């Protein structure tokens, strides 16, 4: 059975109350009907007796005992004080993207006059190489965010602000601010935005490594854009990896999480932030009691990297690893199946120089136990490149202590501060770039001496697209300054000297210059 309520103008929300489907015989249905009727008669009779007594007594039959104390009792405290402390730190993040203009290419030789006769006048957009402009509508969305510093830094999900041209941040006190993306990390789905304000109510962080399954939690956010909402539940599991991200260590909770809760707060009963609500597992599209949150220890590390360095610098060990099964653990003389099995070591990598060999089982890294390959990847990734850390391995049943100097993960896409596709002040607004890796070089047949930043995307309504820049081009220079990678291209675009940029690109086997004039961008 489903009841539908219409809320607020043209928007409708369906609230489903599931019931168990039952099949009954005719005799059973008759019995059920009789029971209902008899029950109704009994209630009616009781009501009549009460009414008669009250009338005879000449005064009210209602004797209500009222206790106006706050809704709490010993052993069963109210969450209201926690909500009052936390709710000002959780904001609504409203995002929108510009209307797009896409180019639709007509098939070669296609002529509308075949259908409308020889006197038909071809539209101008079709006369230009058979192209037709299709206008895509403006897109809007609503998510949540958490204020983490008093001077306006806000943590949210990458998927909340990805592709947004305009970001509006609404506080619970009614204030609204323009938000600016400071950095995004798709590998963990964490992003940082900034508003120009001071004295904001920043939330307090907890150590998410200390949470336990069964701990009570509260989820605070803006589901469906209806306003701030608080739900409660428990921690159902830790260390979940279900979304296919490169780095996952999710907290699972049964607190109700719905669309719009993304980027909101998951707090403990002391009001401390333990996670950022990110996703749900659902067959209906709504909450079904399986929600996931990025733990604060991971989110905090990513956030600090984006703010302090402008990108996420991840450590690199240089090993191929896999989980241990009980049978593998037995073969490698392990007492249990905890650790990461090394199946290959990259030559001249940090692991190779440290003495790691194929067949080793890494049991501890940087003072922390390694439970499986995923946790080792998280631990190595969050290690500062250049740091020398201790590592324990089990080789042929014997424990060995090694020291490894971690390098930066090669070929990693830059999680850039002020990315070129998200700031109207950039010289190459609407252009996304990434580093050149070996596979890309082979695909594009790039000569070995070509160094630069690969254009991974170009918005079709941008000045860069109008100038002729396309996906797959390689930026060699910006305003006569050589570009060696995506980070440098982003840095050169961050503070443009003017709205007009001279860009040298490698495209289709040759080099050429293009002029990108942002002053005419519309």
Sign of the Cα pseudo-torsion (366, 372, 374, 377, in order) = positive
Instruction: State how far the Cα of 142 lies from the Cα of 160, in Å rounded to an integer.
Output: 8
Strands 500-507, 481-482: pairing kind: unpaired
Instruction: State how far the Cα of 111 lies from the Cα of 141, in Å rounded to an integer.
Output: 40
Element counts in the chain: helices (H) and strands (E):
12, 31
Cα within 13 Å of Cα(128), Cβ side: 7
Task: Show the tokens assigned to 181.
Answer: 């993306």
Q: How far apart are the first and last CA of the chain?
A: 51
Task: Show the tokens assigned to 422.
Answer: 């998200």
- Tell me whether residue 426 is exposed, middle or buried, using C-beta atoms within 10 angstroms of its C-beta: 0 to 12, 13 to 18, 19 or more: buried
Phi/psi region, residue 403 (left: phi>0; alpha: psi -120 to 50; beta: rest), is: beta
Task: Show the tokens assigned to 522.
Answer: 């519309």
DSSP 223: G
Task: Show the tokens assigned to 301.
Answer: 């590390």
Length of the chain: 522
Instruction: State how far the Cα of 273 lies from the Cα of 204, in Å rounded to an integer.
Output: 6
Enclosing H/E stretch for 438: helix 438-444
Paired residues of 481 in beta bridges? 478
In angstroms and rounded to an integer, the radius of gyration of the C-alpha atoms of the chain is 30
Instruction: State how far the Cα of 434 lies from the Cα of 455, in Å rounded to an integer.
Output: 7
- The alpha carbon of residue 322 and the mean position of all alpha carbons in its chain are separated, in whole angstroms, by 26
Instruction: State how far the Cα of 436 lies from the Cα of 484, in Å rounded to an integer.
Output: 9
Enclosing H/E stretch for 192: strand 190-194
155 and 79 Cβ atoms separated by less than 8 Å: no
How far CA 335 is from CA of 56, 361, 402, in Å, comes to 83, 12, 21
Sign of the Cα pseudo-torsion (80, 86, 87, 88, in order) = positive
Catalytic amino acids? 159, 189, 262
């Amino acid at each position: 059975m489903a009841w539908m309520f219409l809320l607020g103008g043209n928007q409708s929300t369906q609230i489903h109350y599931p019931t168990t489907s039952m099949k009954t015989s005719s005799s059973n249905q008759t019995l059920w009907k009789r029971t209902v009727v008899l029950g109704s008669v009994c209630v009616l009779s009781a009501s009549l007796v009460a009414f008669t007594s009250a009338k005879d007594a000449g005064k009210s039959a209602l004797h209500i005992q009222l206790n106006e104390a706050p809704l709490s009792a010993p052993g069963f405290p109210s969450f209201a004080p926690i909500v009052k402390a936390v709710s000002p730190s959780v904001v609504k993040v409203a995002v929108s993207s510009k209307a797009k203009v896409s180019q639709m290419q007509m098939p070669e030789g296609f002529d509308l006059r075949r259908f409308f006769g020889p006197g038909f006048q071809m539209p101008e957009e079709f006369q230009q190489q058979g192209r037709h402009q299709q206008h895509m509508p403006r897109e809007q969305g609503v998510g949540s965010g958490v204020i983490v510093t008093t001077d306006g830094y806000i943590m949210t999900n990458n998927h909340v602000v990805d592709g947004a041209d305009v970001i509006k941040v609404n506080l619970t006190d009614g204030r609204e601010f323009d938000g600016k993306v400071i950095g995004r990390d798709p590998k963990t789905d964490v992003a940082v935005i900034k508003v120009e304000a001071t004295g904001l109510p920043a939330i307090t962080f907890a150590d998410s490594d200390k949470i336990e399954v069964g701990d009570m939690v509260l989820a605070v956010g803006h589901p469906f854009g209806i306003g701030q909402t608080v739900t409660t539940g428990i921690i159902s599991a830790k260390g979940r990896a279900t979304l296919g991200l490169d780095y996952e260590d999710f907290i699972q909770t049964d607190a109700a999480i719905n669309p719009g809760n993304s980027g909101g707060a998951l707090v403990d009963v002391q009001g401390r932030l333990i996670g950022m609500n990110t996703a749900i597992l659902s067959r209906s599209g709504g909450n079904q009691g399986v929600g996931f949150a990025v733990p604060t220890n991971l989110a905090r590390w990513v956030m600090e990297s984006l703010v302090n360095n402008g990108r996420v610098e991840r450590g690199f060990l240089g090993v191929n690893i896999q989980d241990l099964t009980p049978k593998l653990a037995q073969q490698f003389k392990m007492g249990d199946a905890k650790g990461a099995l090394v199946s290959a070591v990259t030559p001249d990598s940090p692991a190779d120089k440290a003495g790691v060999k194929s067949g080793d089982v890494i049991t501890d890294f940087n003072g922390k136990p390694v439970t499986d390959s995923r946790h080792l990847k998280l631990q190595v990734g969050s290690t500062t490149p250049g740091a020398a850390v201790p590592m324990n391995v089990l080789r042929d049943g014997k424990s060995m202590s090694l020291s490894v100097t971690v390098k930066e993960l090669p070929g990693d896409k830059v999680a850039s501060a002020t990315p070129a596709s998200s700031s109207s002040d950039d010289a190459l607004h609407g252009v996304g770039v990434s580093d050149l890796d070996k596979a890309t070089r082979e695909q594009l047949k790039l000569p070995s001496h070509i160094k630069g930043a690969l254009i991974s995307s170009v918005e079709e309504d941008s000045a860069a697209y109008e100038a002729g820049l396309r996906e797959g081009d390689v930026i060699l220079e910006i305003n006569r300054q050589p570009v060696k990678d995506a980070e440098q291209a982003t840095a050169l675009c961050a503070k443009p000297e003017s709205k007009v940029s001279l860009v040298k690109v490698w495209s289709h086997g040759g080099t050429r210059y293009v002029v990108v004039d942002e002053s005419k961008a519309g």
